[in-house]
Amino acid sequence: MAEITAAVDEQGANKLLDAAIAAIGTQVKSGSGSLGPFVANYTISGTLTNGDVDLIPPSTIRIVDLRLDWQIDFSFGIDLSDILPDFCLPQVCIDIPCVGEVCTPKICIDWPTISVPISFGDFLKTTADFEVVASLVGGDWIVSIKILGVPNLQFGATTAALLAAIGLAVTPILLAIPFLGPFLAIAVNAILAAIGIAGLTGFLGPIITPFVSGLTFQIYKQPKNFEVLPAAGAFDPAVDITIDALAAVVANSGEDELILTADVSP
């Protein structure tokens, strides 16, 4: 039989998880990924905020509206000659008074490769189920909650906004390229069509999902051996106990509670 039992209700669990999730802080990752046909190098930061905790016996902690605020800075290169038609200035002939006709040769323009930097942030909310896990790591008992499965993250509105942001970012870059102005609409549409909603989802999904999938929060840590009473004199030594076993469950005893039970020995 358990010798120590501790329980928290949903309100308490909410506070516990508020602190545990806040302790994770802002996480930053860098890498590269496919943005449609382009390769984008990115740096992304993500910060989680607790939602509403729902304790579901026998072992599930559900967080409703777990929020992830994310900010991504990425850049990708576009070889404009891949998307724009070849362009040549035609031969231009002019009549110079008292001299005669002079013609320039036909001159073809090579479209350059451009780099488009984008800075974009948004948030998403998801509902995720976690399990409670107690384990002995080194000399410490650790109670964590660990996400079950990979939640489905919805990027619907985000992708539309990000596509618009890419359009806004690419426009001034294109306008600065000689002779490209008249092809601007063609170029922007071609770039956005090449990326598409699918390209953005395919880019964001693998980058953002890891902030949530595999999530583990530590909610309690206790040394296996610890002092419960300090020494009070030469003939009254400190009293130490050992936690031999620790278990965590979700149970209903009138209301849903997260219960920790510990078996101890001197």
Q: Which stretch binds other proteins (CB under 8 A): 38-46, 130-138, 175-183, 212-220?
A: 175-183
Query: Are the C-beta atoms of residues 130 and 61 closer than 8 Å to each other?
Result: yes
Cβ proximity to other proteins: between 110 and 254 the closer is 110
Told to check if 139 binds other proteins by CB under 8 A, we report no
Residues numbered 185-214 forming contacts with other proteins, rule: CB under 8 A: 185-186
Give the H/E segment covering residue 203.
helix 184-212
User: Which tokens go with 192?
Assistant: 């956005």
Told to check if 1 binds other proteins by CB under 8 A, we report no
Cβ proximity to other proteins: between 100 and 233 the closer is 100
Residues numbered 94-113 forming contacts with other proteins, rule: CB under 8 A: 94-97, 99-105, 107-110, 112
- Residues binding other proteins: what is the number (CB under 8 A)? 32
**Rounded CA Rg of the chain:** 31
- Measured CA to CA, the distance from residue 147 to residue 189 in angstroms comes to 40
Cβ proximity to other proteins: between 114 and 208 the closer is 114
- Measured CA to CA, the distance from residue 42 to residue 23 in angstroms comes to 25
Min dist. Cβ of residue 34 to other proteins (A): 27
CA distance readout (Å), 120 to 35, 40, 171, 202 = 14, 14, 16, 16
Cβ proximity to other proteins: between 101 and 265 the closer is 101
Cα–Cα nearest to 17, from 246, 210, 216 = 216
- Measured CA to CA, the distance from residue 258 to residue 17 in angstroms comes to 12
Min dist. Cβ of residue 193 to other proteins (A): 16
Amino acid at the residue 2: A
Cβ proximity to other proteins: between 97 and 230 the closer is 97
CA quadruple 210, 214, 218, 222: dihedral, nearest 10: -140
Q: In this chain, which of 157, 164, 176, 229 binds other proteins, going by CB under 8 A? A: 176
Told to check if 93 binds other proteins by CB under 8 A, we report yes
Cβ proximity to other proteins: between 169 and 241 the closer is 169
Helix/strand/coil for 143: strand
Min dist. Cβ of residue 116 to other proteins (A): 14
Which residues of this chain interact with other proteins, rule CB under 8 A? 89-97, 99-105, 107-110, 112, 176-186
